[in-house]
Amino acid sequence: MVSARTRFWILIGLVTISGFSQGMLLPLIAVILEQNGISSSINGLHATGLYIGILLSSPFMEKPLQRLGYKPVIMIGGALVVLSLALFPFWQALWFWFILRVTIGIGDQILHFGTQTWITATADRNNRGRSIAYYGLFFSLGFTLGPLMTNLLTFGIAVPFLISSLLSMIVWLLMFRVRNETPERDHTTAYGTSSMKRFLKAIRLAWVAFLPPLAYGFLEATLHGIFPVYGMRIGHEVNILSLIIPCFAAASLFSQIPLGTLSDKIGRKKVIMTVVSGGTVAFVAAALLEDSVIALFATFALGGLFVGSLFSLGISFMTDLLPKELLPAGNILCGMAFSIGSILGPFLSGFFLDLWPGLSFFYVIVALLIIVFIATAYKNDPLLTE
């Protein structure tokens, strides 16, 4: 069996491959459906399958974790992802692909829930932010590399799906070398056995920590799903837009670890407020300079440097605010908040474009970041109050 450090990197590897598969599916299936003459509205609706799967599975994962332990739960989630990716090429029916997307959402959420909870429960308090920043860093790395698989369509529709499935399986097999552990017994007894009571208590104690993951989901889905439409409306070419969008996730790779480490030293609240302020400035600049391709490259990169770490910072903040026995519930709620943001982002942004076509799309993002800033400002940082 492997050491705790090796286990940590195996879990990080699983997170990377999960980000890779998610980053691949959104543009890959969108391109395939577009080439097959599927309408953009159906294409967008189809893309919600992943997040529907995440939401459907989220409330039901805490008890299996308590009974089975971390390793079986993670392996079940990984197996669902591997098998679903491998099945895509065998039947190109719209409804069948939607079911596979939902199944991958369920598998990804199970995998993320297991890895997040294991990492947050075992991370040392003094470097918790740094440990969770690695989680966010490698998920973003996978998400950034995933869209490159679209280029493999020239070799056949099956190729990107099968390669992604094979890579996922290789990392998944490493879990056989990890010794299983179960959450502390308090997880099943604290505050009663009702999952709803536990979720409500977690929301009451750490509601503000769920806003950064929600905002990150909103940003990720909106920039990938609605910005290409808006960019074409204001006169930019599709191939240029496809290069601008990855700048957000790519830039976040450089700031995840420094921001996580900084949050360990000066507190999560200060860092979240700082990055949200920087992100607000970046997207206001994007709104004012959106006709310039160079400015969009720069503002997307600047936005990624700041708010591209919101998901991992939110998990760290949640871990600070909740007692250890509520961490499983907190991790579930972080995943649900991300999914809700991912579903709301394209819907609200599309509605905004229809209602106010003369206003810049980026102001929707600015409004959300201002709300997150105000909410965070009113919450005490436990690192500075204990």
Q: Which residue has the higher pLDDT, 124 or 181?
A: 181
Phi, psi values for residue 51, rounded to 5°: -75, -30
Question: Would you place residue 382 in the very low, low, confident or very high pLDDT band (cuts 50, 70, 90)?
Answer: low
313: tokens are: 């910072």
pLDDT at position 116 is 80
pTM here?
0.77
Those residues whose C-beta lies under 8 Å from the C-beta of residue 341, and which sit 6 or more positions away, are: 213, 214, 215, 216, 217, 218, 219, 221
Q: How far apart are CA 231 and CA 299, in angstroms?
A: 14
DSSP type of residue 73: H
Residue pLDDT, tens place only, 120-167: 777 777 777 777 788 878 888 888 788 778 778 888 888 889 999 999
Q: What is the mean pLDDT of residues 196-222?
A: 90
Question: Would you place residue 381 in the very low, low, confident or very high pLDDT band (cuts 50, 70, 90)?
Answer: low
Instruction: Name all domains of the chain by residue range, CATH numbers in brackets.
Output: 1-183 (1.20.1250.20), 186-386 (1.20.1250.20)
Phi, psi values for residue 267, rounded to 5°: 105, 145
Average pLDDT, the chain: 84
- Amino acid at site 227: F
Residue pLDDT, tens place only, 295-312: 999 999 999 999 999 988
Q: How far apart are CA 220 and CA 5, in angstroms?
A: 30
Q: What is the mean pLDDT of residues 275-289?
A: 96
Question: Would you place residue 285 in the very low, low, confident or very high pLDDT band (cuts 50, 70, 90)?
Answer: very high
pLDDT at position 302 is 96
